[in-house]
Amino acid sequence: MEDELYRKFYEVETRHWWFVARQRIIEDLIVRKAGIERGSRVLDIGCGTGAVLASFSQRYEAYGTDTSPLAIEFCRKRGLQNAYEGTLSSLPHPELKFDLVLLLDVIEHIDDDVAMLKDASNVLKPGGLALITVPAYQFLWSRHDTLNFHKRRYVKSQLRQVVEQAGLKIEFATYFNTFLFPLALVGRLFEKLFQGTTDRTLDLPPKPVNALLTATFSFEKNFIGNIPLPFGLSIIAMARKR
């Protein structure tokens, strides 16, 4: 991604409704469904500017990797010393194996998503878990995807396929960000009809709107891992190393 996007992420990701609610869902899921105990070793692959990594570092032995030097610089500003520039093959501690790896909106950026997932599997302990999120539905492609250098958006069956091709066993997969789907669909159609040239996705809404969107999206944590949601703006999957 371009440096300007990382700067924007660093500015908003601890406040913007999408980042805040997604993190709440992920943390709830890991504690409730994955059973990852305090002190376990966790790796955030594609950790970006480090908001998720900072939160996980309070509970786990957490590490992060990102290929962007600027992203790692922002991680350092958050006081994160276990964030490293580069790919998994250049991780400074090749002997480390992890109880959990996070690939949060990462593999849609990669040409060979199966190879990326295989690399993630290789750093997992036997029986370790991978938590993966991706954007859903190619028909929702927008300027936001282009500016973020996405290669694709997924349907659930497609994500299942690439995860299983990487040798991981799916424990569950579901769409999420479901309740706000109709609103987003209208927005994407409006953008296409009027050929919008700007991406306002990362703009912070007014505080009351931001709070409402955060609460609406966060409420889905009561369903994820228990009841499959039929559609959504994203997909979340948990898979175990065989």
Residue pair 168/240 in contact by the 8 Å Cβ criterion: yes
Residues 186, 188, 193: CA angle, nearest 5 degrees:
90
Tell me which DSSP letter residue 229 carries: B
* Among 100, 36, 32, 39, residue whose Cα is nearest residue 64: 100
Show the tokens assigned to 147: 């500016």
**In the predicted model, what is the mean pLDDT of residues 135-156?**
94
Q: What's the confidence (pLDDT) of residue 190? A: 79
Is the pLDDT score of 54 beyond 70? yes
Show the tokens assigned to 227: 């009841």
In the chain, what percentage of residues exceed pLDDT 90?
A: 80
**3-state SS assignment for residue 127:** strand
pTM metric for this prediction: 0.94
What stretches of the chain show up as alpha helix (H) in DSSP? 3-12, 17-29, 51-57, 69-77, 113-122, 143-147, 156-165, 181-193, 207-218
Q: What's the confidence (pLDDT) of residue 118? A: 97
Query: Model confidence at 21, in pLDDT bands (50, 70, 90)?
Result: very high
**In the predicted model, what is the mean pLDDT of residues 22-44?**
93
How far is 183 from 233, CA to CA, in rounded Å? 10
pLDDT digits (tens, 9 = 90+) for 89-99: 888 888 899 99
Query: Model confidence at 197, in pLDDT bands (50, 70, 90)?
Result: low
pLDDT digits (tens, 9 = 90+) for 174-191: 999 999 999 999 988 877
**In the predicted model, what is the mean pLDDT of residues 195-219?**
89
**In the predicted model, what is the mean pLDDT of residues 55-75?**
96
Query: Model confidence at 206, in pLDDT bands (50, 70, 90)?
Result: very high
In the chain, what percentage of residues exceed pLDDT 70?
A: 98
